[in-house]
Amino acid sequence: MARPREFDTTVALDQAMQVFWSKGYEATSLSDLTAAMGLSKSSLYETFGCKHDLFMSSIEHYKRTVSDQVVAAAEIDAPARRVIASLFDRAIERILSDEGRRGCFLNNCASEVAIHDDVAGRAVRDGLGLIEAAFFKLVKRGQVEGHINEERDARATARFLTAAINGMLLIGKANPERETLRDIADTALLPLN
């Protein structure tokens, strides 16, 4: 009956997300998107709607990806405190790789559009909530395991860790130096004592 889609929608969405992630919303043109996704404007509009719709879908796609990774990390069979430390370590390595310098997509979105774009802002807040939830779980577990100070409020600590890792990613964009990032990560873990 119909000509079948020659492209994988999820793959295309991922490619769109990569572009938004690297360039930001405003600086991304439809040409950038169609080039990266390998389809024409008409197909893009047919499948994903307008630029802003696609942007929102990209955020949701990122949230899915991140939440998968973060849930996976939270379930790693190692002391929770170690897992938290390794999340910071991994973030450092990512910043120092060329690809990682673009930081966290949610972070970028919060910075660029969260104030002016309520819809995107809410999606970003939800996404950050996923990260906070993962940290919360880990902090709780770490307290049970005895490696994290039980006097700390787990919610407050999780919120802090979310802010700290995002702050580190941000600093890393302007100043991708291992020593600086190491200092930030090491100090950020002190409140766990």
Query: 190 Cβ partners below 8 Å, 6+ apart?
Result: none
Residue 101 touches its own copies, criterion: CB under 8 A: yes
5 or 182, CB closer to DNA? 5
Per partner kind, with CB cut-offs from 5 to 8 A, the member of its own copies, DNA, none near residue 71 is none
Window of 41-49, 61-69, 70-78, 83-91 that interacts with DNA by CB under 7 A: 41-49
Q: Tell me which residue has tokens 């930030």.
A: 184
**Torsion region of 90: left, alpha or beta (phi above 0 gives left; psi -120 to 50 gives alpha):** alpha
Does 174 engage in binding with its own copies (CB under 8 A)?
A: yes
Residue 116 binding DNA, by CB under 7 A: no
- In degrees, rounded to 5, the angle at the alpha carbon of residue 71 between the alpha carbons of residues 115 and 76 is 140
Q: Which of 39, 184 has the CB closer to its own copies?
A: 184
Largest CA distance in the chain: 65
**Interacting residues with DNA (CB under 7 A):** 1-7, 28-32, 39-43, 45-47, 50-52
